[in-house]
Chain A
Amino acid sequence: MTLWRVEWLRIWRTRTVWILFGIFIFFGVLGPLTAQFLPEIVERAGVAGEIDLPPTSPELAMSQYVSNALQIGILAIAFIAATALAFDSKPEIAVFYRTRATITEILTPRYVVIAITAVAAFASGTLIAFALSTVLIGTPDALATLKGSALISLYIMLAVALVGLMSSLISSVPGAALLGIGTLILLGIATMVPYVGPWLPSYLVGGFDTLVAGGEFDYWGAILTTVAATAAAVWASTYLMGRREV
Chain B
Amino acid sequence: MPTNAVEVTGISKRYGSVVALDAVTLSVPEGSVYGLVGPNGAGKTTLLGILAGLRSPTDGAFSIASHHVSVLPDTPKFEPWLTARETVELSAALGGIQAPADAVANVLERTGLIDVADRKVSGFSRGMLQRLGIAAAVVSRPGLLLLDEPAAALDPQGRREVLDLVTELRGESTVIFSSHILDDVQEVCDEIAILTRGSLVYQGTLDGLIRDVTHGYTYRIEIRGDAGPAARALRACNWVTQIKVEESVVFVSADSTVVLESELVPLLADTGVPVVSIGPIEQSLEDVFLDVTR
Contacts and interface: CB of A to CB of B under 8 A. Distances in A.
Interface of A: 1-3, 6, 9-10, 13-14, 90-93, 95-101, 245-246
B86 A99 contact: no
A99 B53 CA distance: 7
Nearest to A12: B81
A90 B121 CA distance: 15
A245 B81 contact: no
Contact of B49 (A92, A100, A245): A245
10 contacts: A9-B82, A14-B81, A92-B76, A93-B77, A93-B78, A93-B79, A98-B54, A99-B71, A100-B94, A246-B54
B178 interface: no
Given A9-B81, A245-B56, A246-B54, A96 B76 contact: yes
A95 B91 contact: no
B77 A3 contact: no
Contacts of B86: 1, 9
A99 B52 contact: yes
Contacts of B136: 96
B54 A92 contact: no
Contact of B52 (A9, A14, A93, A95): A95
A70 to B, nearest CB: 28
B71 A2 contact: no
Interface of B: 49, 52-56, 69-71, 73, 75-79, 81-82, 86, 89-95, 136
B82 A92 contact: no
A14 B49 CA distance: 30
Given A95-B71, A246-B55, A100 B91 contact: yes
Contact of B81 (A1, A13, A92): A13
Contacts of A101: 94
Given A9-B81, A99-B53, A245-B56, A92 B90 contact: no
Nearest to A101: B94
A9 B56 CA distance: 33
Given A3-B94, A14-B81, A99-B70, A92 B75 contact: yes
A9 B121 CA distance: 14
B71 A6 contact: no
A95 B54 contact: yes
A246 B49 contact: yes
Contacts, number: 57
A13 to B, nearest CB: 4
A97 B86 CA distance: 14
Contacts of B75: 92
Contacts of A93: 77-79
| Interface core residue of B53, B78, B90, B95 (most chain A CB under 10 Å) | B90
| Interface core residue of A6, A14, A98 (most chain B CB under 10 Å) | A6
A128 to B, nearest CB: 28
A246 B94 CA distance: 19
A82 to B, nearest CB: 16
4 closest Cβ pairs, A-B complex = A100-B94, A92-B77, A13-B81, A1-B89
Given A1-B86, A9-B82, A91 B91 contact: no
B54 A245 contact: yes
A20 to B, nearest CB: 17
A96 B52 contact: no
Nearest to A100: B94
B54 A99 contact: yes
B81 A100 contact: no
Nearest to A13: B81
A3 B75 CA distance: 23
Given A10-B81, A99-B52, A246-B54, A91 B73 contact: yes
A10 to B, nearest CB: 7
Nearest to B71: A99
Given A98-B53, A98-B54, 7 more contacts: A6-B82, A90-B77, A95-B71, A96-B77, A96-B91, A97-B94, A100-B95
Nearest to B140: A100
Contacts of B56: 245
Contact of A2 (B73, B82, B93): B93
B133 to A, nearest CB: 8
Contacts of B95: 100
Contacts of A90: 77
A245 B53 CA distance: 9
A216 B92 CA distance: 54
B94 to A, nearest CB: 4
A3 B82 CA distance: 12
A96 B93 contact: no
Contacts of A2: 90, 93
B49 A6 contact: no
